[in-house]
Structure 1
Amino acid sequence: MTNKVEGVGRIVAVAFGGVFAGFLVTVMVLELSMRDLGASAYTQVRHVELDRLDTLATVTLLPTAVATIVLVGLGLRRGSPGLGLMSVALVLLLVVFITTIVVNLPINADQRDWSIGSPPNDWATDRDRWQVAHAVRTGATLLAYACLLLASRVHRQPALEPRLADGRQRELSQ
């Protein structure tokens, strides 16, 4: 049963982690593309982004995080060759959560209330803070995803077969 849970955990972590990482990169490209927009145009696009993109972030990040927590827990109990990488991925996902909760979500809540016709005077400051925090969480997510991919690869590599003193391979009973 544990092997099935671990297998499903790896698939969920890698699949949802990849979608989440791709999503964050896409949003970063969109945000950087909007740097030259004026306040009203930027606000209008942000209103469109905020309509459903938070939901997409949630439904891709949460399964990634839960699967990673399960994999780290199993790795701690059983000793997994990818435990170090999975642990680093988990810490990086924690950075994503904290950055999102402390910086991005409060700014999102403020931006939902901005008027397209008359955004606040300090709109660019909020935009810049949001984009810097988004760059941090995008970088952390990409590194976490790389760790999850590498941990998955480490897990799949065949274990070294024990050898006798004369170099012959030892027969293993299964």
Structure 2
Amino acid sequence: MVSIRIVHLIYTFAVGLFAGLLYTFEQGVIPTLATLNATEYAHIEQGLIRALDAFPTGVIVVANLAMWLPLYPLIRLWSQRHTTYWRLTALGWALFFFGVGVFTIVLNVPINNAVLAWDQAAPPADWAQVREAWNQLNAIRTPINYVSFGLLIWAAFGEGEASG
């Protein structure tokens, strides 16, 4: 079905964009933030959080497309749930939804909110531990996002109505 192919392309692209964002953090942003002192870190991190949350068509919209659009083919093709396409899409969706989406909302976002409440001139004494906790959580969700992205790409080549 053309509609399923188009929707698959959109949510796979969204998952890929999110994977790219997490890759950028793992490879560039986190190592750079590790070189900063407490006040520099508080200032820069608060700026990053605000910038990523402020743009209305940015991270939140992309993450929502990635979390909710896969439900369309999964529901429409329920009768084909035995196909490679359906199973890979379901697994890719579940990994992104729970391993990245829910994980981020439940674990990373509360840390971001705590960082936003810091006084930039006098961050808390445990600022480095908070930074490390966020980094460890990011190190878990990043490879989960990569696997999800790979599964959705693989699904595009799977058997079933969406690819036939």
Q: Same fold (TM over 0.5)?
A: yes
* 1:124 positional shift: 0.9
Which SS does the other structure have where 1:36 is aligned? Answer: coil
* 1:72 positional shift: 2.1
2:164 maps to 1:128: no
Match of 1:49, as an amino acid?
Answer: L
Structure with max Cα Rg: 1
2:88 maps to 1:90: no
Q: Count the aligned residue pairs.
A: 157
| Equivalence for 2:63 | 61
Comparing 145-154 and 7-16, the one that deviates more:
7-16
* 1:4 positional shift: 3.0
Distance in 2 between residues matched to 1:44 and 1:73, nearest whole Å? 45
* 1:53-96 deviation per Cα after TM superposition (whole angstroms, max 9, x unaligned): 13522111111122222222233233443112111112211121
The within-5 A match list for 1:84-123 is 84-93=87-96, 94-123=98-127
Instruction: Select 1:74's aligned residue among 70, 73, 76.
Output: 76
| Equivalence for 1:19 | 17
Comparing 25-34 and 104-113, the one that deviates more:
25-34
Distance in 1 between residues matched to 2:9 and 2:107, nearest whole Å? 30
Q: Rate the CA distance shift 1:158–1:49 in 2: closer, same or farther, 3 A.
A: closer
Q: TM-score scaled to structure 1, two decimals?
A: 0.81
Distance in 2 between residues matched to 1:103 and 1:37, nearest whole Å? 23
Distance in 2 between residues matched to 1:106 and 1:19, nearest whole Å? 23
**Contact 2:95/2:145 (8 A) holds in 1:** yes
Distance in 2 between residues matched to 1:134 and 1:142, nearest whole Å? 12
Match of 1:32, as an amino acid?
Answer: P
